[in-house]
Amino acid sequence: MLAKALMTASAGIILLLGVIHLIYTFCGKKLTPRDPALQTAMREVSPVISRETTMWKTWVGFNASHSMGAILFGLIYGYLALAHNALLFQSAYLLAVGLAMLGGLVVLGKLYWFSVPFTGICVSFACYVTAIAVTWI
């Protein structure tokens, strides 16, 4: 029961962070540059890989897809923890994939993000690892 609750909490944290990030991507100014000239330049300049888009469109697209990945992780692992916890906790593959995903997010959070998402991801990671440990005891 404790492992199920911890895994659900881990997934819920990532789901919440993903939803908030998706909202911030399309609503408000939280993910826009503080310098309006930079946003203007991003709307006018294409990345080297293709002239079919702009840096601004890729910025929005990457933020949205990043959010969707977090939401997907939260929904799948939350569902598995709540509805199919035996399958989840007996699958070394599913546990390893989740651990790798959260571990990767911890590294990215430390290197590139700010304290709020980094802290949330660390708490999620701790819940995840503890859930696995509790099942082995």
Alpha helices in the chain (DSSP H): 2-26, 36-44, 55-83, 85-90, 92-112, 115-136
Residues 99-120 have a mean pLDDT of 97
Rounded to an integer, the average pLDDT of 96-125 is 97
Mean predicted lDDT score pLDDT of the chain? 97
- Residue 137: band (very low, low, confident or very high) from pLDDT cuts 50, 70, 90: confident
How far apart are alpha carbons 92 and 90 in whole angstroms? Answer: 6
Instruction: State the pTM of this model.
Output: 0.95
pLDDT at 28 over 90: yes
Average pLDDT of span 20-31: 96
Using one digit for the tens of pLDDT, what is the confidence trace for 46-104?
Answer: 999 999 999 999 999 999 999 999 999 999 999 999 999 999 999 999 999 999 999 99
Give domain limits for the chain.
Answer: 2-136
How many whole angstroms separate alpha carbon 8 and alpha carbon 36? 40
Supply 34's token pair.
């503080």
